[in-house]
Amino acid sequence: MKFSPPIQTEVAIERKINPKRMQREIQSQLQDKGIGTKAQQALKLQHEQCKLERKTKSREQKEAEKDRQFAIRQEKKKAKHRGR
């Protein structure tokens, strides 16, 4: 087996972090930063679900309108071809 020569890579230099700052960052990551009460969380979840439903419904409506316009154009082409 032949191995390629080793590739030089840069070693990331680790900066020392102030211990108090590190503790503050750890505490902030451990705390839940979300909405406090379960009722508020439920409302937020419901709001997100409604938003997704609206998005899908509007997308379907746009597609239906596109199809309808396409059918109208096709009918006009056929009518023009027939001489009407």
CB 41 within 8 A of CB 35: yes
75: which 2 tokens?
């009918």
Q: Is residue 28 part of a domain?
A: no
52: which 2 tokens?
């997704």
Q: Is residue 73 part of a domain?
A: yes
Q: State which residues form the domain around 83.
A: 37-84
Q: Is residue 47 part of a domain?
A: yes
Q: Is residue 56 part of a domain?
A: yes
Model's pTM, two decimal places? 0.48
Q: Is residue 82 part of a domain?
A: yes
Q: Give the chain's domain count.
A: 1
pLDDT in tens, 27-80: 988 886 667 788 888 899 999 999 999 999 999 999 999 999 999 999 999 998
Q: Is residue 3 part of a domain?
A: no
Assign 1 a pLDDT band (cuts: 50, 70, 90): low
